[in-house]
Amino acid sequence: MMNVPAFDLKRNYEMLKDELKDAVNRVLESQRFILGEEVEGFEREVASYLGVSNALGCASGTDALLLSLMALGIREGDEVITTPYTFFATASVVSRLGARPVFVDIDPVTYNIDIDKIYDHITPKTKAVIVVHLFGHMAQVEKIEGLLRDKRIYLIEDCAQSFGAWRKIDDDIRYCGTIGTFGCFSFYPTKNLGGYGDGGLVTTNDDYLADRIRKLRVHGLCGEYVHEELGMNSRLDAIQAAILRCRLPHVDEWNKQRRIIAERYRILFDTYGISEFVKSPHEDTDGYHVFHQYVVRCDKRDELMKYLTENGVGTRVYYPLPLHLQPAFSSLGYKMGDFPQAEALSKNSLSLPMYPELLPEEQEYVVDTMAKFYRSN
């Protein structure tokens, strides 16, 4: 029996460990651990990579979202539209400010928020829309960006799972995080661009809002011990920035490897005759999927997951309980059946092993094991 984990960070570390150790030692020698030159260098390099005016490090992807909403003045009584099929933080940051998350069902093909349904949920209280580029597939934000701008509604891109993803818009390559008012990134260790701890980033082309973020991430500080407003303590530390600077030049190659692995899965599903039971993830023809996760829709999901676990294959379910059914959001008044596409996906989706160093023979073992399950069931 082969052991194939859902993800493996050690293989990646082995490739870069000497460079990473040098980077960490550089910070140790400097004795500058909070913000400083390493963070500023990383911010410049990310801004250049994405083609955006401002990139601002913070403590986590969650804080990136929260800082963005704070900078926009989101408060009690406001509404923020988003998807019920995403990580908890996307909506929790809205509630933390006293505003109301308003959920819109997902597109069953892309798994992203159904862009066309956003229009129907806009009210005079709508102040922002958070679009999540889920699992590495960028949503069609260009379809909604103009309307929101005309209505003075802010667009926030949740890019936590999609660093390096892009869409071709009007013959231009536009990276995720560069179209909305803000782009919010996470550098959690398992991300396509991951650090070795928590870390986050906010991008914006608005210089005034960039200055707001800079102040808010340090308690609203505008001078020595002078605070213009109530901010928070959310700073990217120098060690994480140094590590991310080492890893950033490799992210394109890692994303290419993820795409090769995704295509190999699709071919193997056909080769082993299980395509009728397992549906590969979708990629728009004008988009570039970076496959943070490789999430399939499959028959007998729970039984398959158990069988794979018993045979050494690690899998995950993202997300078994949509946000509108989470106990923490019960006060919003949603119920089972309100968002049927998100609920259906939560019952039949499964994330298979996906990381750039996944070997072809490991993939073949995964799919062969899946085929044995379906042949016997």
Closest CA to 164 of 247, 68, 69, 101: 247
| Residues in a beta bridge with 95 | none
168 is catalytic: no
Q: How many CB atoms lie within 10 A of CB 322?
A: 25
CA distance 91 to 82: 7
Give SS3 for 10: helix
| Residues in a beta bridge with 174 | 167
Which H or E element spans position 373? helix 360-376
φ/ψ of 374, rounded to 5, equals -70, -35
| Residues 226 and 191: beta-carbon distance below 8 Å | no
For residue 142, count CB atoms less than 10 angstroms from its CB and return exposed for 0-12, middle for 13-18, buried for 19 or more: middle
Please report where in the chains the tokens 């080769």 appear, as a residue.
271
3-state secondary structure 143-212: HHHHHHHHCCCEEEEECCCCCCCEEEECCEEEECCCCCCEEEEECCCCCCCCCCCCCEEEEECCHHHHHH
Query: Catalytic one among 191, 215, 256, 300?
Result: 191
CA angle 51, 192, 360 (to 5 degrees): 130
> Which runs of E-coded beta strand occur in the chain?
54-58, 79-82, 100-103, 126-132, 154-158, 166-169, 172-175, 182-186, 200-204, 221-223, 226-227, 278-279, 287-288, 294-298, 349-352
CA distance 298 to 304: 9
| Residues 277 and 299: beta-carbon distance below 8 Å | yes
Tokens of 98: 């006293």
Catalytic residues: 191
